[in-house]
Amino acid sequence: MTRNVGTIDRIIRIVVGVAVLSQPVLLQGSLRWLGLIGLIPLVTGLVGWCPAYSLLGISSCEVPTHTSG
């Protein structure tokens, strides 16, 4: 697994994941389980690899710059 999620993308995913995971505390009834969807961005942000990005050939990682000389 080669990393395909960049630093800013990872931070956003972690924040969104935690926010969505907090929804079961706030919601009541049958909608509480929807908060578990927050595991997806949280895990992909922590690991740094997104399977959807791999399928689509996308990478938000920084491109290393090479200096000559």
Residue 63 lies in a domain: no
Residue 2 lies in a domain: no
Q: Is the dihedral of CA 13, 14, 17, 19 positive or negative?
A: negative
Does the predicted TM-score (pTM) go above 0.85? no
* pLDDT classification of 19: cutoffs 50, 70, 90: very high
Residue 49 lies in a domain: yes
For the segment 56-69, what is each residue's pLDDT rounded down to a tens digit?
999 999 877 677 65
Q: Is residue 42 within 8 Å of residue 17, measured between CB atoms?
A: yes
* pLDDT classification of 1: cutoffs 50, 70, 90: confident
- Number of domain units in the chain: 1
Residue 17 lies in a domain: yes
Residue 61 lies in a domain: no
Residue 66 lies in a domain: no
Residue 62 lies in a domain: no
DSSP string across 2-60? -----HHHHHHHHHHHHHHHTHHHH--GGGGGGGGGGHHHHHHHHHS--HHHHHHT---
For the segment 25-52, what is each residue's pLDDT rounded down to a tens digit?
888 888 888 889 999 999 999 999 999 9
The residue segments making up the domain with residue 29 are 7-56
